[in-house]
Homo-oligomer: A and B are copies of this chain.
Amino acid sequence: MIRVGLLGTGRIGSLHAENIASHRESTLDAVADIDNESANNLAAQFGAIVKSADEVISDPNIDAILIATSTDTHSDFIEKASSAGKAILCEKPVDLNLTRAKKCMDKVSAAKNPIMVGFNRRFDPNFAQLKKSLDNGDIGNRELLTITSFDPAPPPISYVKRSGGLYRDMMIHDFDLSNYIMGELPITISAVGHSLVDPEIGAAGDVDTAVVTMVYADGKIAVIKNSRRAAYGYDQRIEILGSEGLLQAENILENSVVKSNNDGIISAKPKYFFLERYLSAFKAEWNAFVKSINDDEQIAVTLEDGVAALAMAEAATQSQSTGNSIQLKEVL
């Protein structure tokens, strides 16, 4: 039985708490949050103890730490929890600052404890099936990947301002997903982005609509398309052309009911947002983490993966401002 300490009891922390508690081989023992009320509520719900973050990390009865606090604390907590010999699952991104993230990675590189970064989409069963089919050679060689990732609605402007920008906050998921799908890092990255959805986002120096094109060593190409708004819900699709065919992972709809009337043939919308769409992915992510610890297996998403995705976000940010394509190795 893995005893887990949870740092951060907000929306994403609560989701993890549910998965930790319902897993047969893990229990939620302790929680910490700078908001006492939030921590108390979650603790009461799952029979956990409230402590400070440092107390949780240093508690010898705790086996694993799940870090779901604000991004600026991730690196510190990873380093501390690693020193304490804990298994770690840290929410993405590792840090908004690439230098800091790399320093963290270097610092814990000698540690034996498993450290996993929470790129949940790798665990979506549909994307995993697409990956399996690709690896199985079902469409021959990879040639042209497209990831479409639109949020249903933009976050509050206060969130945008401290988010690190669309590339580090939102597209970082797609950067990691492209690394997972392609099985390698790109060589060059080009980005264009603009604020079309909300002028306040533009005024805050960020973009809300962006396209990134990446080229790989052998000429393969990947395109990532992001928008902070899709009136029809959360649009999460992958499409890859190979030498022998095409693979697409389509959206998951709210239900399978189709209505035909004078307006047309009407299907349900895609599941609204990540809590609905990736419910099973978050569960599978936790399963994978537990399995890695119990079976002493290779971690599915490493700190190196987290740093690579962050470097790609950094490169995209540079490309957007210069209009030129950026060599990833110059950034990494």
Report which A residues bind B (CB closer than 8 A). Answer: 22, 125-126, 129-130, 133, 138-141, 143-144, 146, 150, 188, 190, 192, 194-197, 209-211, 213, 215, 218-221, 223, 225, 227, 229-232, 235, 241-253, 255-269, 323-325
- Picked from B146, B257, B261, the residue with its CB within 8 Å of the CB of A244 is B261
Q: CA A278 – CA B150 in complex, angstroms?
A: 30
A264: min CB distance to chain B, Å:
5
Contact indicator A268/B265 (Cβ below 8 Å): yes
7 nearest A-B pairs in the assembled complex, by CB-CB distance? A194-B219, A245-B261, A232-B260, A246-B260, A265-B267, A250-B256, A126-B256
Tell me whether A194 and B213 are in contact (CB under 8 A): no
Whether the Cβ atoms of B246 and A230 lie closer than 8 Å is yes
Contact B257–A211 (Cβ < 8 Å): no
Q: Among B195, B241, B260, which residue has its beta carbon within 8 angstroms of that of A269?
A: B260
Contact A261 B232 (CB under 8 A): yes
Give Cα distance in the complex from A168 to B258, angstroms.
30
Q: Is the CB of A245 within 8 A of B262?
A: yes
Residue among B247, B252, B324 making CB contact with A259, cutoff 8 Å: B247
Residues of chain B lying within 8 A (CB to CB) of residue A22:
22
Do the beta carbons of B261 and A231 come within 8 Å of each other?
yes
With contacts A247-B257, A256-B126, A256-B249 taken as known, whether A231 is within 8 angstroms of B323 at the C-beta atoms is no
